[in-house]
A and B are shown apart, each in its own frame.
Chain A
Amino acid sequence: SAVISQKPSRDICQRGTSLTIQCQVDSQVTMMFWYRQQPGQSLTLIATANQGSEATYESGFVIDKFPISRPNLTFSTLTVSNMSPEDSSIYLCSVERGDTQYFGPGTRLTVL
């Protein structure tokens, strides 16, 4: 398995502001993923973050809105920029270990 922590665990933000979410893993991993889970919905992949290269974004997600950093093999950040109430969701990072993906505890974001 993998031990993954996220900060903050939750936050309430005003529209138009930005929030950076951190994801820390207990050991080095090649691939890290960022997901969004809107209230009562499934998990939607935002982007894949590999160390040393630009993140790869899924359809409907753009770098200007969700910039991602991956400075090393145990850490990544996701920024939610210029937030609106529609960005209220749980944001989860996950890592791949072997063939399995493990999820962090998530960051619950509410935008007013």
Chain B
Amino acid sequence: QQPVQSPQAVILREGEDAVINCSSSKALYSVHWYRQKHGEAPIFLMILLKGGEQKGHDKISASFNEKKQQSSLYLTASQLSYSGTYFCGTQPASNTGKLIFGQGTTLQVKP
């Protein structure tokens, strides 16, 4: 079952923060976050494994609430390069390796 992402679209000014959420109705093994720019392949950002952890690098971080089957991606002090479509990919608790992707969140950062 496809996870639900919110919001569908975000428009920011450089330096502003954003949060993108991903919710699943099923028990998860992991949540993967990707960014895709127009005409390019999705680029892996980070993975969160069950256990309720938080990860981050640079000004992008994410959390995973295992009890709620929710993950959030935090973009801090956004840069123009952050523009793109963000997808969460969820892996079910059975850990088959398959990813089921949310519908995507389009982020536009303006100068």
Contacts and interface: CB of A to CB of B under 8 A. Distances in A.
A110 to B, nearest CB: 14
Interface residues of A, number: 20
A100 B32 contact: yes
Interface string A6-31: 00000000000000000000000001
A101 interface: yes
A2 to B, nearest CB: 10
A45 B100 contact: yes
Interface residues of B, number: 22
B44 A43 contact: no
Nearest to B91: A99
B44 A101 contact: yes
A100 B97 contact: no
B28 to A, nearest CB: 13
Interface of A: 1, 31, 33, 41-45, 48, 58, 92, 96, 99-106
